């Protein structure tokens, strides 16, 4: 094993808190939904039982309606804001009240493919099925084919330029005092702005006042964006779950997943823009397509076989974003006015996003670009370490260090 792979495994070990992995000590001291799914996919490649356990610990937080929360607060810690007291949810174990990109189903399928036994996979499969049902019923009640986010944190790309227009409509007033902890852990210039946090917490207050009831939140939400990244991930996970259903002899579930997947495929097909050579999310409050160019616009490649003309256009556009960058893939192109290469999700490079993009490009036979991105991020990690994300213009390591999903991405992409 190379030294770097040993370091990556060591990070996963250090961040283990008893069967689940915190993203990084201090900054993120709890279990996060999509972080754990990526970690479980890495474990699928060398420690299948531990990978199963990661997901089993996550679904201790699954709600009765199927939602898997974005944070499970297994143990108290006061190094993070907003903590369990701010969320005011009523699950058996304290959790947040919103979700995150549904990589979960992809991880269950990966563990199955790596030989996890049916007695561990079946309960995880059913948790994933209930989660997908929740997404379609709670977050696409009108059947458009794209699932919607009610909070930017649900995208996992918190302060992405994709949310600028929709988030600007959200008031900055809060009933909960905003006492940030993140800026005590990392340089504030790398974090979302105070105004973003005011709005993030305004949304938490709004949904807590709905008693976290999904239908009430849908009606009350001042932020509601039908997202191509989330839908692309949901469909990729749904395809894997559908195959898994067949392997497990769950024929009714397979048919149900087939129907859900078809709905997402149709929604994504309509979200393609010939003029922009990318997919575009839909702001459900204004009825406008999201104009800001971000990595989200290419994540659907994960789950679709694009027609040749669309794929050629997407590949050309992705290559354009990479031009002149030291590290790929920037989550916003440099010529966009909202580009800030060090400020969290406003243009920086995230190893797990590269993981998804590489997978999508390979699916669509864009092997050369996939290899360029893979090589670029592996080199950056070997040069600068296992940080949270990178400045694409300089290769500077940014955000938290000793980061779990970065280690997971390295283990996957460096093989
Ligand atoms: C809010 C843990 C999480 C990731 C997200 C990333 C960041 C949290 C925060 O950290 O979000 O969920 O407090 O900034 O944006 O993608 O899951 O690593």
Residue 284 Cα to ligand 1 middle (Å): 24
Does the pLDDT at position 216 exceed 90? yes
Active-site choice (54, 158, 250, 391): 158
Q: What is the ipTM of this complex?
A: 0.99
How would DSSP label each residue in 118-149? HHHHHHHHHHHHHHHHHHHHHH-TT--SS-EE
Which of 12, 28, 96 to probe ligand 1 with, by most ligand atoms within 8 A of CB?
28
pLDDT for the residue 93: 96
> What average pLDDT does the segment 200-222 reach?
98
Does the pLDDT at position 1 exceed 90? no
pLDDT for the residue 226: 98
* Model pLDDT for residues 105-135, shown as the tens digit of each residue: 999 999 999 999 999 999 999 999 999 999 9
Atom of ligand 1 nearest to the CA of 35: 17
C-alpha to C-alpha distances, 85 to 31, 108, 207, nearest whole angstrom = 16, 31, 14
**Do 393 and 323 form a contact (C-beta atoms < 8 A)?**
no
Q: Going by CA atoms, what residue is nearest to atom 4 of ligand 1?
A: 156
* Model pLDDT for residues 158-181, shown as the tens digit of each residue: 999 999 999 999 999 999 999 999
Flag whether 414 is in a domain. yes
Atom of ligand 1 nearest to the CA of 158: 15
* Model pLDDT for residues 19-51, shown as the tens digit of each residue: 999 999 999 999 999 999 999 999 999 999 999
Q: What percent of the chain has pLDDT over 90?
A: 99
Which of 12, 22, 23 to probe ligand 1 with, by most ligand atoms within 8 A of CB?
23
Scanning the structure block, which residue is given the tokens 């649900």? 154
C-alpha to C-alpha distances, 325 to 11, 260, 320, 379, 395, nearest whole angstrom = 28, 38, 10, 13, 9
Average pLDDT, the chain: 98
Flag whether 137 is in a domain. no
Residue 259 Cα to ligand 1 middle (Å): 31
pLDDT for the residue 14: 98
pLDDT for the residue 41: 98
The per-residue b/e assignment along 272-286, b for 16 or more CB within 10 angstroms, e otherwise, is beeeebbbbbbbbee
The per-residue b/e assignment along 219-238, b for 16 or more CB within 10 angstroms, e otherwise, is eebebbbbbbbbbbbbbbbb
Residue 185 Cα to ligand 1 middle (Å): 14
Q: How confident is the model at residue 55 (pLDDT cuts 50, 70, 90)?
A: very high
- Provide the residue range defining the domain that includes 400: 305-415
Which of 32, 343, 350 to probe ligand 1 with, by most ligand atoms within 8 A of CB?
32
Residue 27 Cα to ligand 1 middle (Å): 9
Flag whether 363 is in a domain. yes
Q: Going by CA atoms, what residue is nearest to atom 12 of ligand 1?
A: 153
> What average pLDDT does the segment 255-263 reach?
98
Flag whether 270 is in a domain. no
Atom of ligand 1 nearest to the CA of 405: 18
Residue 398 Cα to ligand 1 middle (Å): 14
Q: In the annotation, is 388 catalytic? A: yes
Atom of ligand 1 nearest to the CA of 157: 15
Does the pLDDT at position 341 exceed 80? yes
pLDDT for the residue 314: 98
Residue 156 Cα to ligand 1 middle (Å): 6
Task: Mark out the alpha helices in 272-365 (DSSP H runs).
Answer: 308-322, 351-363
Flag whether 177 is in a domain. no
Atom of ligand 1 nearest to the CA of 156: 16
Flag whether 364 is in a domain. yes
Of residues 309, 311, 293, the one with CA closest to residue 362: 311
Residue 20 Cα to ligand 1 middle (Å): 16
Pocket of ligand 1, beta carbon within 6 A:
23, 28, 32, 34-35, 70, 153, 156, 158, 182
Which of 61, 158, 194, 356 to probe ligand 1 with, by most ligand atoms within 8 A of CB?
158
Q: Going by CA atoms, what residue is nearest to atom 16 of ligand 1?
A: 156
How many separate domains does the chain show?
Answer: 1
Flag whether 329 is in a domain. yes
Torsion, Cα of 197, 200, 206, 209 (10° steps): -80
Q: What percent of the chain has pLDDT over 70?
A: 100
User: Please, how many CA atoms are within 13 Å of residue 243, restricted to the half-sphere of its CB?
Assistant: 12
Flag whether 244 is in a domain. no
Active-site choice (154, 388, 391, 396): 388
Q: How confident is the model at residue 2 (pLDDT cuts 50, 70, 90)?
A: confident
């Amino acid at each position: 094993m190379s030294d770097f792979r040993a370091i990556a495994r060591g990070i996963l070990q250090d961040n283990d808190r008893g069967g689940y992995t915190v993203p990084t000590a201090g900054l993120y001291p709890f279990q996060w939904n999509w972080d754990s799914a990526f970690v479980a996919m890495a474990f699928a490649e060398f420690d299948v039982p531990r990978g199963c356990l990661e997901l089993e610990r996550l679904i201790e937080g699954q709600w009765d309606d199927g939602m898997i929360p974005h944070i499970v607060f297994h143990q108290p810690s006061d190094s993070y804001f907003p903590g369990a007291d701010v969320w005011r949810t009523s699950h058996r174990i304290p959790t947040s009240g919103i979700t995150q990109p549904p990589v979960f189903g992809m991880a269950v399928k990966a563990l199955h493919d790596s030989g996890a036994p049916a007695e561990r996979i079946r309960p995880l499969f059913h948790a994933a099925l209930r989660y997908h049902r929740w997404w379609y019923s709670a977050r696409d009640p009108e059947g458009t084919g794209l699932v919607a986010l009610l909070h930017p944190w649900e995208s996992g790309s918190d302060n992405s330029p994709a949310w600028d227009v929709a988030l600007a409509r959200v008031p900055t007033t809060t009933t909960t005092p905003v006492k940030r902890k993140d800026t005590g852990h990392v340089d504030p210039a790398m974090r979302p702005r105070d105004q973003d946090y005011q709005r993030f917490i305004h949304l938490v207050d709004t949904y807590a006042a709905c008693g976290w009831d999904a239908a009430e939140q849908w009606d009350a939400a001042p932020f509601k964006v039908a997202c191509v990244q989330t839908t692309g991930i949901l469909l990729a996970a749904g395809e894997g779950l559908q195959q898994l259903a067949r392997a497990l002899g769950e024929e009714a579930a397979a048919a149900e997943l087939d129907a859900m997947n078809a709905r997402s495929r149709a929604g994504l097909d309509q979200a393609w823009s010939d003029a922009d050579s990318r997919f575009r999310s839909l702001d459900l409050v204004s009825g406008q397509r999201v104009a800001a160019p971000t990595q989200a616009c290419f994540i659907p490649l994960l789950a679709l076989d694009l027609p040749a003309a669309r794929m050629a256009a997407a590949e050309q556009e992705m290559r354009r974003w990479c031009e002149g960058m030291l590290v790929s893939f920037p989550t916003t192109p440099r010529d966009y006015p909202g580009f800030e290469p060090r400020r969290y999700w406003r243009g920086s490079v995230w190893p797990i996003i590269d993981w998804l993009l590489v997978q999508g490009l390979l699916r669509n036979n864009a092997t050369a670009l996939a290899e360029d991105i893979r090589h670029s991020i592996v080199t950056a990690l070997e040069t600068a370490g296992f940080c949270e994300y990178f400045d694409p213009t300089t290769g500077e390591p940014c955000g938290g260090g000793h980061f779990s999903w970065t280690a997971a991405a390295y283990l996957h992409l460096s093989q």
